[in-house]
């Protein structure tokens, strides 16, 4: 079904220490959106920025009432900031987009056209990633493909948060209660009619990425443990395999001793066995700890984020 009436579009823009990118993002974005026959709101979520990002948003709001601001009480992380934007937005469709201009605003035109054709979600897949190191590209590719093999849902590879979502998809995501969030997975988990478009991701306009390799590793661990219990199953199978191997090896030693007698040899093999078993035990405990940690966070039932103040909204939907 092709959508023909005039709609409201919500742009959801998380911001953390991006004062140099806010004005260029706004200028490039309105040039694109003004080409389409849609009303729109640009929702900036200040995720505890320590620079002058909030001042930059406030200056834009003075000039353009379509700019709206959610100022979180501290840095809760991008997943929480995106969730806040989805909670507050009023649009018939919503587009999460980064403020650093790595996701070109002109791609929104293609996303919107596909949405008007009747697709509920149109996600943007990165055909090329400019300005990123080979190591980051490699690790990202391996992560998405690993996720694709161990999860029961299809998470599109090489795809971030940049996409357009129909209102019913936004409402479905808002109903999900978990506090430990991997938004890329949630966008896929809710289902609906989804299709992808390919684009070239640009280098950051200004500034440096906020994701170090340590943070990316933690993010990958969050994504894996949030959407599958496969690591636990792998640990179980690995433990079973090692147990069987140990019994067979013990039987081999018993038979050899009965035939050839006892000797003092075997220190290297003993140490290797101890180190391997100890390492696997620690790895398994670590995997269990990740899942227990998620249970601990969810059991406290703390809010996903806290808002210090907001501008341009009446009240968020409950």
Give the whole-number percent of the chain exceeding pLDDT 70. Answer: 65
Q: Residue 318 falls within a domain, yes or no?
A: no
Q: Span 50-72, mean pLDDT?
A: 89
Q: Which residue would you say has higher pLDDT here, 144 or 184?
A: 184
Per-residue model confidence (pLDDT) at position 68: 92
For the chain, the C-alpha Rg in angstroms (whole number) is 25
| 164 and 18 within one domain | yes
| 84 and 111 within one domain | yes
DSSP code at position 305: -
Q: How far apart are CA 17 and CA 50, in angstroms?
A: 6
Q: Residue 133 falls within a domain, yes or no?
A: yes
Per-residue model confidence (pLDDT) at position 51: 87
| 268 and 191 within one domain | no
Structural domain that includes position 240: 230-300
Tell me: pLDDT of 209 over 70.
no
Q: Span 81-100, mean pLDDT?
A: 89
Contacts of 297 (CB under 8 A, 6+ apart): 179, 180
Task: Give the confidence band of 11 by pLDDT, cuts at 50, 70, 90.
Answer: very high
CB 290 within 8 A of CB 221: yes
| 198 and 124 within one domain | yes
Q: What are the DSSP E strand ranges found in the chain? A: 8-15, 39-46, 67-72, 93-96, 121-129, 159-166, 194-201, 307-311
Task: Give the confidence band of 229 by pLDDT, cuts at 50, 70, 90.
Answer: low
Q: How far apart are CA 231 and CA 233, in angstroms?
A: 5
107-152 pLDDT tens trace? 888 898 888 888 898 988 887 766 566 566 666 666 666 666 666 6
| 70 and 118 within one domain | yes
Q: Residue 32 falls within a domain, yes or no?
A: yes
CATH code for the domain of 92: 3.90.550.10
Per-residue model confidence (pLDDT) at position 72: 92
Q: Residue 294 falls within a domain, yes or no?
A: yes
| 274 and 148 within one domain | no
User: What pTM does this model have?
Assistant: 0.67
Per-residue model confidence (pLDDT) at position 45: 92
By DSSP bridging, strand 194-201 and strand 121-129 are parallel
| 254 and 161 within one domain | no
Q: How far separated are the first and last CA of the chain, in Å rounded?
A: 30
Identify which of 11, 5, 191, 166 has the alpha carbon closest to the alpha carbon of residue 88.
11
Q: How far apart are CA 199 and CA 17, in angstroms?
A: 26
Q: Residue 219 falls within a domain, yes or no?
A: no
| 184 and 40 within one domain | yes
| 53 and 191 within one domain | yes
Q: Residue 2 falls within a domain, yes or no?
A: no
Q: Residue 222 falls within a domain, yes or no?
A: no
| 259 and 174 within one domain | no
| 58 and 168 within one domain | yes
Q: Residue 1 falls within a domain, yes or no?
A: no
| 190 and 76 within one domain | yes
Tell me: pLDDT of 291 over 70.
yes
Domain count, the chain: 2
Q: Which two tokens stand for residue 264?
A: 């003092």
Identify which of 118, 45, 58 has the alpha carbon closest to the alpha carbon of residue 87.
45
Specify the residue for token string 């035990």: 281
Q: How far apart are CA 129 and CA 20, in angstroms?
A: 22
Per-residue model confidence (pLDDT) at position 79: 85
């Amino acid at each position: 079904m092709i959508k023909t009436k005039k709609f409201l579009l919500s742009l959801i823009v998380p911001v953390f220490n991006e004062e140099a990118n806010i004005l260029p993002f706004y200028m490039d974005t309105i040039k694109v959106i003004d080409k389409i026959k849609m009303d729109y709101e640009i929702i900036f979520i200040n995720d505890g920025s320590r620079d002058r990002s909030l001042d930059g948003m406030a200056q834009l709001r003075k000039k353009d009432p379509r700019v709206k601001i959610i100022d979180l009480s501290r840095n809760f992380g991008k997943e929480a900031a995106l969730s806040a934007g989805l909670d507050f937005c009023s649009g018939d469709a919503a587009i999460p987009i980064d403020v650093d201009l790595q996701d070109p605003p002109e791609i929104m035109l293609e996303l919107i056209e596909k949405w008007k054709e009747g697709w509920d979600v149109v996600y943007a897949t990165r055909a090329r990633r400019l300005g990123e190191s080979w190591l980051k590209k490699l690790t990202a590719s391996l992560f998405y493909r690993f996720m694709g093999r161990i999860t029961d849902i299809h998470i599109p590879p090489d795809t971030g948060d940049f996409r357009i979502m129909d209102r019913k998809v936004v409402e479905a995501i808002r109903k999900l209660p978990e506090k430990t969030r991997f938004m890329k997975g949630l966008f896929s988990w809710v289902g609906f009619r989804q299709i992808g478009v390919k684009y070239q991701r640009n280098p950051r306009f200004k500034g440096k990425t906020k994701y170090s390799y340590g943070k990316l590793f933690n993010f990958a661990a969050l994504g894996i443990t949030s959407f599958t219990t496969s690591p636990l199953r792998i640990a179980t199978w690995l433990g079973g395999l090692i147990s069987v191997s140990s019994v067979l090896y013990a039987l081999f030693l018993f038979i050899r001793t009965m035939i050839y007698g006892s000797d003092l040899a075997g220190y290297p093999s003993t140490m290797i066995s101890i180190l391997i078993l100890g390492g696997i035990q620690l790895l398994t405990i670590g995997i269990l700890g990740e899942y227990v940690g998620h249970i601990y966070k969810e059991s406290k039932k703390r809010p996903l984020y806290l808002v210090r103040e907001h501008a341009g909204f009446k009240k968020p939907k409950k």
